[in-house]
Structures are given as C-alpha cells and as structure tokens.
Amino acid sequence: MTTALGNATMIRLLLVVTLPLYILDQITKWWIVLNFKEPSVVQIDGKLYGYEDTRPVIEGFFNLVRRHNQGVAFGIGNGTTWAPVVFLLVLIVAIFVILYFWKKGAFTGPSKWSAPLLMAGIVGNLTDRLLQGFWLEGYKDAGFWERLGQGYVVDFLDFFLPVVNYRWPAFNVADSCISIAAVLLFLTALTEGVKEWKEKKKDS
C-alpha cells in the first residue's frame, strides 16, 4: 500500500513539476538554437578567437548567449571526444538511481520536491546530448555515431557579477532545477541532523 501511494505521488509530481519544467527547458533551448549563431573559432590577424553570439539583456549584468557545453558543471570535459558519451551514460544512470531511492523512501521533507526537479534537469540535459549534435551544420553529412558524439548541452543564461568581478558560468533551466534540488537535499539533511541531535540530547 505504501509503495502504491509512493508511486502515485511520484507520478503526480512528475506531471505537475517535472513535465512543465522540462517543456520550459526545451522551448528556451531550442529558441536559442534557432535564433542564435553556432559558437565558432575565427582567425583575426593570425590569432584564433572564440566567437559566441551574445546579446545583452541588462547591460553589464545579464546576457543571452549560445554556448555549447559537452562537459558538466563549469565546462569540465568540453572539447574532449569522451565527454558526450560518458556524461550521456552518467545521466541515464542518474535517472535510475533517483527512481530507486524514491521507491526506497529516501526523499522526505523538503527533499520530496528534489526528485521531480532532478528528473526535470537530468532529462532536459539528456535530451540535449541525444539530439543537439544532429543539428550542427558542420556535421550534417557525418555518420550517426559521430553526430551523437557531438552532443552538447545548450547553456544560454550568462550573468556577470560586478561586485566580485566574476562571470558566472552560463547555465540553463535544467541546471537551475538541479541546483535547487541540491539545496533542498542539503536542507533536508540539515533538518534531519538537527532533529536527530535534539532527540539524542533529550534522551541523554
């Protein structure tokens, strides 16, 4: 009975939270892909420069940009041949791990919302890695596996923090979902830790 209720709750959260966020993630990414030029490398006076189609929204603070991320957070793995395949497999495994721990009742308290947020973020970025490589102009005549290997995540939200003179790595809706889920997991762990500490103090 508990398992049935747990599955019903998970399905409800997937429909109410995961699905809308996944759709929003994909719509925003495809709008960027269809309206922004691909990143490229240009040669000026014998020197190579990376080019990104960047459009200011709030001058000096917030831009929209088309950035291809084949790696993970902060661009780790970008430009490598192994990153698209390895991180594709990692995302698939992560989905099964989340479902497994949900059935085990691991998501309680605030972390109940982290599961559908994680699913939205992981599936959103997984979709990119599966499809985006097939839309690259330079690989339109390449074979299936080569184009799949060029898969990347579309990052487009670009913030510059003038107070600390730091440009935050570009991200997307899916990344935001994963980050919020991580905060919820941390808060749940903190809450449970404090609760356990109070119970031990009470018994001592």
Contact 55, 65 (CB under 8 A): yes
pLDDT above 50 for 5: no
Alpha-helical regions (H) of 104-203: 114-131, 144-149, 173-203
Q: What is the number of alpha carbons within 13 Å of residue 105 lying toward its C-beta?
A: 4
The one catalytic residue in 25, 128, 155, 158 is 155
156-173 pLDDT per residue, tens? 999 999 999 999 999 999
Rounded to two decimals, the pTM is 0.81
Instruction: Quote the pLDDT of residue 30.
Output: 97
Distance, in Å, from the CA atom of 75 to the CA atom of 49, rounded to the nearest integer, reads: 18
The one catalytic residue in 25, 128, 158, 175 is 175
Report the pLDDT averaged over residues 174-202: 82
Residue that wins the pLDDT comparison between 32 and 141: 32
53-93 pLDDT per residue, tens? 999 999 999 999 999 988 655 555 555 556 666 767 877 88
- Whether 155 is catalytic is yes
Averaged pLDDT of the chain: 83
Q: Which residues, listed in sequence order, are joined to residue 44 by a DSSP beta bridge?
A: 47
Residue that wins the pLDDT comparison between 195 and 2: 195
Distance, in Å, from the CA atom of 65 to the CA atom of 86, rounded to the nearest integer, reads: 25
Sheet holding 153-161, edge to edge: 54-58, 62-69, 153-161, 166-171
Q: How many CB atoms neighbour CB 52 within 10 A?
A: 16
